[in-house]
Amino acid sequence: MSDAIQPGLARPFTAGIALVVCTSVLTIPLACSSGGSSRSAPGPSATTAGGTTGSGTASPAPVPAPTPPSPAPTPSPAPAPTPSFVPAGTHDPAGLLSTIPDALVANGGDPIHIQTAIASDSFTDRDPADVPTTLRLVTWNVHKGFEADTIADELASHPELRDADFLLLTEVARLDEQSDPPMIDQTRRLAERLRMDYVFGVQWDRREREGQRGEMGTAILSKYPLGNVTHIRHTPVHPGSRYQFEKIYGGRNTLAADALVGGRRVRLYASHFATRDPEGLHRAVQAREVRADAALPDRPALQIAAGDFNSWNCLLFVSDCTQPPAAETCVREFLSEGWTDGTRGFTGHTQIGLRFFRQRLDWIFHRGGLADVPGQAVLDAQGSDHFPLYFDFSMP
């Protein structure tokens, strides 16, 4: 399967270099027959009377009627196939992950749906069969790696963060001139230090911006094996605008993967939705694209969607941004479609815009029967303009 992102409303693609995502199709055999019956119709039968004739002459022995053939046994339904799990494997090249031809835009190419690979590797020290009673998931916008060492220290040592089993991160730096330290592979460094598996997908490629060259993207880190990776390039708010005005390739994205937890798959979605969307309508479309992937036939029932939804349309000092009708459309629709707010009861902020304007931008939703303990933001965490958000859950 090609790495290229195909055109369409929801634009998922898989990293052909790193992995292939397989979808098992459930086939149920049906017994079919002409005329609306699955049974063999009996053949014609004739009864011949036995005994003697009126003249006393013995009648010939009757010819036995032919025995109708036994109906063919109805085949048993084939067992449902076990959903496949294709491990992410190891793929982390030294250079950039995207393949962008020279003069792509000048030749009429699409600067948003670029061909890009997924980076991945495994460093977990967890036995995949070892499933504690409670698991913790943390989502955090790590602010382009501007304070990468501080972020790493917080994730390794903060009491609320250090025991996370899953990390869903946005604005992660990779070979970026602006990160501190510069040109690091932030996801890989975190995975090595925290002993986790990881996958990373490119959101923005700034190879043409002087002093800002590099990649920024979305990452999933897990104590359990990751596989069946999908990269969704979302419908843009303004097609082509980031390249036209800023010379940036790529676009808003969601990175998705299955974590194999004690032999069961949990689908994880790490999302970073649009900002230049005053009414929140495009964010709602992007959230629908996530739920469309979650509804595909081979997806596991256990699902978690989290990340920076940029839902700044609701003002915390005016209303409760976690509840309809004040909550933004993308939040309301997750709730109305049967997802549970993993931080319900937390009505505070997750980001301080312009260093003083408190906003609720980050969210965690789940479905499929996970027993959760609602979480909240970690407001004393350092290293980003966002605060990490967490929740705890148990496998059903």
Q: In this structure, what are the phi and psi dihedrals at residue 130, rounded to the nearest 5 degrees?
A: -90, 105
Per the CB < 8 A criterion, the answer to whether 104 and 112 are in contact is no
Please report, rounded to a whole number, the percentage of residues in the chain having pLDDT higher than 70.
79
- Here the CATH number for the domain that contains residue 125 is 3.60.10.10
Instruction: Report pLDDT for 123.
Output: 98
Name the residue range of residue 335's domain.
104-394
Instruction: Report pLDDT for 47.
Output: 33
Report how far residue 228's alpha carbon sits from residue 23's, in angstroms, rounded to the nearest whole number: 9
Q: What six digits make up the tokens of 34?
A: 């002409």
Flag whether 280 is in a domain.
yes
Q: In this structure, what are the phi and psi dihedrals at residue 365, rounded to the nearest 5 degrees?
A: -125, 150
What residues have CB less than 8 Å from 149, skipping those under 6 apart?
Answer: 180, 181
Report how far residue 356's alpha carbon sits from residue 367's, in angstroms, rounded to the nearest whole number: 34
Flag whether 187 is in a domain.
yes
Flag whether 4 is in a domain.
no
Least confident piece of the model among 56-70, 77-91, 331-345: 56-70
Report how far residue 302's alpha carbon sits from residue 137's, in angstroms, rounded to the nearest whole number: 14
Q: What is the pLDDT of residues 116-147, one digit of tens each?
A: 999 999 999 999 999 999 999 999 999 999 99
User: How distant, in Å, are the alpha carbons of 17, 124, 125, 168, 291 from that of 367?
Assistant: 31, 26, 28, 17, 11
Predicted TM-score (pTM) of the model is 0.80
Query: Is the peptide bond prior to 297 cis by the omega test (within 30 degrees of 0)?
Result: no
Flag whether 178 is in a domain.
yes
Domain count, the chain: 1
Instruction: Report pLDDT for 18.
Output: 40
**Burial category of 20 from C-beta neighbours within 10 Å (exposed 0-12, middle 13-18, buried 19 and up):** middle
Q: What is the pLDDT of residues 141-182, one digit of tens each?
A: 999 999 999 999 999 999 999 999 999 999 999 999 999 999
What residues have CB less than 8 Å from 179, skipping those under 6 apart?
Answer: 144, 145, 146, 148, 173, 186, 214
Flag whether 116 is in a domain.
yes
Instruction: Report pLDDT for 26.
Output: 32
Q: Average pLDDT, stretch 226-230?
A: 98
Least confident piece of the model among 76-80, 217-221, 228-232: 76-80
Alpha helices per DSSP H over the chain = 148-157, 186-194, 241-246, 281-294, 329-336
Q: Is 9 helix (H, G, I), strand (E, B) or coil?
A: coil
Flag whether 345 is in a domain.
yes
Flag whether 181 is in a domain.
yes
Flag whether 83 is in a domain.
no
Q: What is the pLDDT of residues 62-85, one digit of tens each?
A: 555 555 555 555 555 554 444 699
Q: How confident is the model at residue 369 (pLDDT cuts 50, 70, 90)?
A: very high
Per the CB < 8 A criterion, the answer to whether 11 and 232 are in contact is yes
Q: What six digits make up the tokens of 372?
A: 């959760």
